[in-house]
Amino acid sequence: MNESTRRVAITGIGCVTPIGTGVEGLWEGLQRRESAVKRIDRFDPSPFRTHIGAQVDDFAPEAYMDRKRARRLDRFGHFSVAAARMALEDAGVDPAGEDPDRVGVQIGSALGGIGYAEGQLGNFIQGGVRAVDPLLALAVFGGSASCNVSIEFGFTGPNSTNGMSCASGAMAIGEGWRLIRSGEADVVVAGGVEAPLAPLCFGAFAIIRAMSTRNHDPARASRPFDANRDGFVMGEGSAILLLEEMERARARGARIYAELRGYSTTTDGHHMTAPRPDGVQAARAMRQALRVAEVAPDEVDYVNAHGSSTPLNDSTESRVIRAVLGDHTPEVVVSGTKGYHAHSLGATGAIEAAISALVVQRGWIPPTLNLEEPAAECDLNLAEGAGATRTVRRAVSNSFGFGGINAALVFGNA
């Protein structure tokens, strides 16, 4: 079977998010139509301009790995292994029954174990080198996410963790799609993980004034495409998709959420934080993903927008969507879900990919929370209120990151 005929099914979803854990926890969280953003209590945020974020509360790593393993991993590692285990179980895939050489692991994270490293630096300052966890080096190196997953389940296929900022989760899923299409793997565990809620990391984004300062009203702070948006809200979490070669999935009678039909990535080459004003490279990523997927712009039913709630991103993305979809733009429902779960950096594209697959399967589009006054420059058909119930045959999920990284994924009903 050559690359042009190998198709990719999404057969499992695992996630740890501020609005819910597991595929049904995520879906129920979306249906509640409530934001998880609140004042941070993980540390004292008062020295910074921003005091709010979206935390994952009540997460017990021992529910997903043995106690010894849990002690050896940091929060970033916990999220990685937990979401991967949930995705495998959701797909009905037993790692022991797989050819390990044919199972790949692709994960994205903007910051990796930086939060844990911060805490260990404090230990070092107070108690010297003997106060530092000897496993620190293994927790913070870039590839720890995908390597920990491979070690946990014994997978020996292609393995990588990319660090391409806020597009990294989507890119990991796209690279997993490529591995299956090319015949290098039959199954890929793919997604994004982030655990950035620590003082220095959080404060760094506050210092550059990238985050919302709506501290008095946290639940309404993340407001994609709204005229009064003032910055993104930081979150944490993980989402892993189980990608599987389509014929294999059907042969074993797997439940298929959606088909992953296309992927593309481009780079603005413009600025570290600001998107390229004309959006030409982001539009090129969308167009190329649709071309590879063999989906015409007038066949798109839904766009899950990056929708970061920053003044520049949302206006530029609106321009990009209009440029790609043309006259069909008013027919396409668009939603930005960061009003729910905030912006978990490298994990966010994977969380939104999971949401997009569920929208294709279940036919309900979550609303754009806190959209009270749509910005004039964001003149899209934005899902509001109770969301939109409709058949979604083709969907696009956009992810844009610092450094000008653009990624687009295309989903279809299977």
* Catalytic (active site) residue 15: no
At 343, list the tokens: 């912006």
Q: How far apart, in whole angstroms, are the C-alpha atoms of residue 80 and residue 183?
A: 25
Q: What are phi and psi of 348, to 5 degrees?
A: -65, -40
The two beta strands, 103-108 and 159-162, are parallel
Q: How far apart, in whole angstroms, are the C-alpha atoms of residue 165 and residue 274?
A: 13
Q: Return the DSSP state at 96.
A: G
Which of 281, 334, 282 has its CA nearest to residue 304?
334
Which of 25, 3, 339 has its CA nearest to residue 178?
3
Residues in contact with 358: Cβ distance below 8 Å, sequence separation at least 6, in sequence order: 13, 23, 26, 27, 257
Angle, CA of 246, 248 and 253, to the nearest 5°: 95
Q: How far apart, in whole angstroms, are the C-alpha atoms of residue 78 and residue 72?
A: 9
3-state secondary structure of 11: strand
For residue 95, the tally of other CB atoms under 10 A from its CB is 16
Say if residues 192 and 239 touch (Cβ distance below 8 Å). Answer: yes
At 198, list the tokens: 């620590």
* Catalytic (active site) residue 306: yes
From 147, 166, 201, 378, active-site residue: 166
* Catalytic (active site) residue 378: no
For residue 131, the tally of other CB atoms under 10 A from its CB is 12
From 147, 306, 341, 378, active-site residue: 306
Which residues are annotated as catalytic? 166, 306, 343
